[in-house]
């Protein structure tokens, strides 16, 4: 089982599987259009966000540990979603960090540094 780092915002998620000898990347996009007004459109936004989060969570089922990163509140909303609806994935989240829009290389470097420190802290 690999450690995962997930860069997530309201439109897409980049998922990196960190194996000892390789890194695999997967990108998932939210397909629904977000609306910026209240009322019924706001309810649809919430339903679409939940659907997107559930799809991302499904991709994380085989993770050993998960680091969530991103620029806004989507990472904490996603964390709340998995804690409430996908308990097995929620238990694997070991960190949540705010980052702007790093490159893929910066995401992987940040994750490797995080998991190395996390492993040292656990032992």
Which sequence spans correspond to the domains of the chain? 3-122
For 19-28, the pLDDT digits (tens) are 999 999 999 9
Instruction: List, for residues 46-85, the tens digit of each pLDDT value.
Output: 577 899 999 999 999 999 999 999 999 999 999 999 999 9
Side-chain-side CA neighbours of residue 82 (13 Å): 24
3-122, which class in CATH?
alpha beta
Is the entire prediction scored with pTM above 0.85?
Answer: yes
Rg (alpha carbons) of the chain, rounded to whole number: 15
**Per-residue pLDDT band at 4 (split at 50, 70, 90):** very high
Residue 13 has pLDDT above 50, yes or no: yes
- Give the residue among 115, 37, 111 at the shortest CA–CA distance from 70: 111
């Amino acid at each position: 089982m690999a450690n995962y780092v997930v860069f997530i915002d309201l439109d897409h998620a980049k998922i990196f599987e960190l194996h000892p000898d390789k890194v695999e990347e997967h990108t998932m996009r939210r397909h629904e259009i977000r609306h910026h007004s209240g009322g019924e459109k706001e309810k649809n936004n919430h339903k679409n966000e939940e659907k997107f989060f559930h799809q991302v969570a499904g991709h994380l089922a085989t993770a050993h540990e998960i680091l969530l990163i991103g620029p806004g509140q989507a990472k904490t909303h996603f964390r709340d979603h998995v804690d409430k609806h996908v308990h097995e994935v929620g238990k694997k989240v070991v960190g949540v960090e705010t980052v702007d829009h790093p490159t893929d290389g910066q995401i992987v470097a940040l994750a490797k540094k995080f998991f190395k420190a996390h492993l040292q802290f656990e032992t």
